[in-house]
């Protein structure tokens, strides 16, 4: 895997894990590799969508387990084929 791709994947993982120290470290590495700010923004947006989708599934699962109605619409991955985050 090329270094820029590796850093982008690692940045997405840091965002998904809410790890600010990891993000800061990887951001420094991304600057050394001259990764464009637009690429970092795109990675952050995709990672946030995936992370938020997982949180929605968890809240709905908890509600259903407790016998409550799911109170949050499913994330994009559960709506229509081909429209996932």
Q: Where are the domains of the chain?
A: 3-78
Per-residue pLDDT at 72: 67
Q: Are 61 and 25 in contact, with CB atoms under 8 Å apart?
A: no
Per-residue pLDDT at 10: 97
Q: How many CB atoms lie within 10 A of CB 1?
A: 8
- For 3-78, CATH number? 1.20.1290
Q: Are 11 and 27 in contact, with CB atoms under 8 Å apart?
A: yes
Q: How many CB atoms lie within 10 A of CB 4?
A: 15
- Predicted TM-score (pTM) of this structure: 0.72
Which residues does the chain have with pLDDT short of 70? 71-85
């Amino acid at each position: 895997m090329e270094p820029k791709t590796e850093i982008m994947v690692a940045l997405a993982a840091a965002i998904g894990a809410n790890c600010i120290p990891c993000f800061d470290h990887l951001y420094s590495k991304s600057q050394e590799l001259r990764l464009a700010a637009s690429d970092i923004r795109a990675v952050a947006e995709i990672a946030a969508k995936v992370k938020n989708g997982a949180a929605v599934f968890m809240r709905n699962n908890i509600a259903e387990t407790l016998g409550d109605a799911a109170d949050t619409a499913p994330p994009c991955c559960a709506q229509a084929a081909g429209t996932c985050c």
